[in-house]
Structure 1
Amino acid sequence: MTQQITHEAVIDEHHFGMRFDQVLAELFPDYSRSRLKDWIVDGKVTLDGKVVTKPREKVLPGMAVRLDAQVESEERFEAQPIDLDIVFEDEHILVLNKPAGLVVHPGAGTPDGTILNALLHHHQGAAQLARAGIVHRLDKDTTGLMVVAKSIAAQTHLVTALQARDITREYEAIVNGVMTAGGQVDEPVGRHPTKRTHMAVVSSGKPAVTHYRVAERFRLHTRLRLRLESGRTHQIRVHMAHLRHPLVGDLQYGGRPRPPQGGSDELLTALRGFKRQALHAVKLALHHPISGELMSWEAPVPDDMLAIAELLRKDAHGVDDDYNL
């Protein structure tokens, strides 16, 4: 289904000589520049009653602008009563703590039972938003914080903030191998040339930057704190594998169990039984898309990662301490 929208405005003096699409972006800031441009090309916007389909068209003060368009809704997907761990919510955004195993968006092999289906059930306005307000994703088996828009204005501003790298996303991870120091990976990420379901560092990929620092070293593993500048599919997993330090449990990118020599049976069993990538979105910070207030949230590291870290710590130090992630 679709929602019909209509907006009217008059071009002001300071718009003189500006391009049509630039003026629309100022007049109707609730919508993205690319969406407004598409509406112009599709003949959905008029100037003084005449359809103008050229985004670069120059405009004059006093011209009347009218936008008549349709926004696709997500009602083709089913609303389902799936529990969400909501950390924060107001009329414009919600922040949730995603568990392992929950898919964010329906796709091949997962037609429903996703966060999108849950959002459609959680609040009525989600059906009028692209992807039910989802602006970024976490992999199925990655846990932690996600922000979701509840209004078109919030969604537009959050997408812009993500593109401008104005949203802070920090992660906890446990990787194979001992890393001696922190650093960054600045390598493009794109579709793997031969493995359709994999991503890889490839020259034709999109720019991707991951910052990391060592939080704790074990005998044959390292706990990391990471921060994303970009948000490419599988970015952290691909970048760590590129450094030859794949995430524990990430079989897709080489993270098979690598127990330290002489390690306990308990540790060996735990590493073999860890069936997901050891990755958790621990911190999210952003300026509220409407009020501009700086907001920040943290989500506790889940029990399965805490348990693995504790066993690795015992193996490294030979003591049972109460160190917390």
Structure 2
Amino acid sequence: MSASQKTINLFVETDLSVHGLRLDQAIANLFPEYSRSKLKTWILDGCVQVNDQVCTVPRQKLDGFERIKIEATAEVQVEHTAEDIALDIVYEDEHIMVINKPADLVVHPGAGNAQGTVLNALLAYIPGIELVPRAGIVHRLDKDTTGLMVIAKTLEAQTHLVEQLQSRTMSREYEAIVTGNLVAGGLVDKPIGRHATKRTLMAVRELGKPATTHYRVMKKFRAHTHLRLKLETGRTHQIRVHMAYIKHPIVGDPTYGGRPRLPKNASDAMVQQLRGLKRQALHAAQLSLFHPATEEWLTWQAPLPEDMQQLLIALDDDTAIHGLDD
């Protein structure tokens, strides 16, 4: 975290809606973009004025029609360059934003990707998001995995969403196209940790962190299977590692999938689609969570991207010609 500071200047003239409320309750309602604990700290530190008088008592009752001013500093949590990068926004309010991430877009800056990321886009799009750890990014998708991500726009929302992730009440479902024939659904319950020799990769490791992936068959093809998957945990590369572990790697996965496997007598269209796919055929199709402010259970869905749709059409045509058993 950076130790640099940002000045916060807030002012509001209240009305009768705050009558009878404590000062800490009132400003939490008036400035929901800041957490209650942060606002209470500012009161105690003498950063809050009521009618031009410093007030350090969070429980002081208000009558209404007070002038409330806050002059404080906050630590900047993220220091990266803001960039005007278009985001596909599925949902947005003052607390959260849900985006549909395209392929070839990195979520967080890192080695070799200092710019052009989701985080850089968020810094430009949401004023003040640099005060939220990781610019509000709650969970990540791999660079070439498409689909839904939720962003917290405030510290309070981020705390709530992280708790949902940790308690496994947030639901994330994916679609994938894998190599080989899976007859029925199942689950992979194997721990995941760093690869023993290739430190940038993950692998099933006895001493790794617990990881559970549920999957069910959506459609079977001659030499491939379309799956729906649900995560219980969120380990790095979890679906990709688990599918490779059960010998059904995700089509197009350059890291865990090996060389493309072409079935016998594959049509030119099918070969073109399989070889033309330059990423893993994995898509975060559905996201469900409790809204951090209203506690309402919300669900969003994102359709399969064009490259996966075209691959499914080619696989379907191939199966229609050759049948399920070649």
TM-score range, shorter chain: 0.7 to 0.9
**How far is 1:31 from its partner?**
8.5
CA contact (8 A) 1:247 1:255 kept: no
Q: Which letter does structure 1 place at the counterpart of 2:272? A: T
Tell me which residue corresponds to 1:93.
Answer: 96
Tell me which residue corresponds to 1:313.
Answer: 316
Q: 1:183 aligns with which of 172, 181, 186?
A: 186
Deviation track 1:101-156 (CA, whole Å, cap 9, x = no partner) reads: 00000000100110000000001121111110001000000000000000000000
Cα RMSD over matched residues?
Answer: 2.6
Q: Which letter does structure 2 place at the counterpart of 1:261? A: K
Q: Which letter does structure 1 place at the counterpart of 2:307? A: D
- 109-118 or 189-198, which deviates more: 189-198
Partner Cα distance (2:290, 2:188) in 1: 26
CA contact (8 A) 1:31 1:152 kept: no
Partner Cα distance (1:199, 1:263) in 2: 32
Provide the secondary structure at the position in 2 that maps to 1:244.
Answer: coil
Structure 2, unpaired ranges of 5+: 9-21, 23-33, 46-58, 60-71
Structure 1, unpaired ranges of 5+: 10-28, 37-44, 50-63, 320-325
Partner Cα distance (2:5, 2:135) in 1: 13
> TM-score, normalization: structure 1?
0.78
1:283 has 2:315 as partner = no
1:146 has 2:149 as partner = yes
> TM-score, normalization: structure 2?
0.77
CA contact (8 A) 2:250 2:281 kept: yes
Off by >6 Å, runs of 4+ in structure 1 = none
CA contact (8 A) 2:168 2:233 kept: yes
Matches within 5 A, 1:47-196: 71-74=75-78, 76-196=79-199
Partner Cα distance (1:152, 1:190) in 2: 30
Partner Cα distance (1:136, 1:72) in 2: 20
Partner Cα distance (1:204, 1:91) in 2: 41
Structure 1 residues 3 and 160 mapped into 2: Cα distance closer, same or farther (>3 Å)? farther
Deviation track 1:77-114 (CA, whole Å, cap 9, x = no partner) reads: 00000000000000000000000000000000100110
1:241 has 2:244 as partner = yes
Q: 1:301 aligns with which of 300, 304, 313?
A: 304
Provide the secondary structure at the position in 1 that maps to 2:255.
Answer: helix
CA contact (8 A) 2:191 2:210 kept: yes
Partner Cα distance (1:157, 1:30) in 2: 11
Partner Cα distance (1:208, 1:69) in 2: 40
Provide the secondary structure at the position in 2 that maps to 1:315.
Answer: helix
CA contact (8 A) 1:3 1:73 kept: no
Q: Which letter does structure 1 place at the counterpart of 2:262? A: P
Deviation track 1:267-294 (CA, whole Å, cap 9, x = no partner) reads: 1122111110000000001110111011
**How far is 1:216 from its partner?**
0.5
How many residues are aligned here? Answer: 269
Deviation track 1:195-246 (CA, whole Å, cap 9, x = no partner) reads: 1221000012111110000000001100000000111110000000000000
Partner Cα distance (2:73, 2:230) in 1: 38
1:263 has 2:266 as partner = yes
CA contact (8 A) 2:181 2:220 kept: yes
Provide the secondary structure at the position in 2 that maps to 1:184.
Answer: strand
CA contact (8 A) 2:74 2:131 kept: no
Provide the secondary structure at the position in 2 that maps to 1:252.
Answer: coil
Partner Cα distance (2:201, 2:73) in 1: 37
